[in-house]
Copies of this chain bind each other. A is one copy, B any other.
């Protein structure tokens, strides 16, 4: 009797399909990389230096990638910081000590114009060059939304674009943009990652670190701290 070989993601019969995972070094993207690996993909991580004011993220991305044991880790750059318009790339103050209820009411100063569009475009270029059609991105529209390029309709529009923009798409490949966290709360994200043995002590989410130490007071720090507290834990990145 013939052995039944289960179909892998992407329809491959055996072998691991490749996926490109955008890995910033933050809590969300570390979780996404672990999810992609758990779903049977060969993970090719892409970390983009886009002109962030601080480089702590890039070091965290390297540590996270090493800990996950991914297949390949590429570092790319895009000079998005030159355009300004964001507290993450220009000299605009990062908001501190905000009430959690207040977040998400308006698009925050930390919004970087077209950032996720640029990041996904580079991920698409990388994917097409290595013959991958699966992209993973850690966008999240629930706890602390506010960013337009973290919404499901943005992800869908990018997927449509990817299939029209590429040689692979014209030749019949179907690009898929996976955003597994998009409807999860921060607490659910952390629970998912812990079940996959993600070491959150290696991650970096802070918008305004001193060296590689998280400030503990910006929106990103406050949101993850609260989520860890809900789980009865201390945020291991703040204890560092």
For the complex formed, measure the closest distance between the CB of A55 and the CB atoms of chain B, giving whole angstroms: 16
Which residues of chain A from 2 to 52 have any CB-CB distance to chain B below 8 Å in the complex?
A: none
Kindly state whether residue A99 has any CB partner on chain B within 8 Å. no
Number of copies: 2
Give Cα distance in the complex from A132 to B160, angstroms: 25
| Contact A125:B80 (CB < 8 A) given known A148-B170, A157-B157, A157-B160 | yes
Flag A159-181 by CB within 8 Å of B: 1 or 0 each. Answer: 01110111101110000000000
| A125 near B118: Cβ-Cβ < 8 Å | yes
**Shortest Cβ distance from residue A112 to the other chain B in the assembled complex, whole angstroms:** 8
Chain B residues with Cβ below 8 Å from A112 are: 125
Chain B's nearest CB lies how many Å from the CB of A65? 16
Residue contact B111 to A122, C-beta cutoff 8 Å: no
Which residues of chain A have a CB within 8 Å of any CB of chain B?
74, 76-80, 82-85, 107, 111-118, 121-122, 124-126, 128-130, 148-149, 151, 153-154, 157-158, 160-162, 164-167, 169-171
Give 8 nearest A-B pairs by CB, closest first.
A85-B129, A113-B128, A114-B125, A83-B129, A118-B121, A114-B124, A157-B161, A78-B78
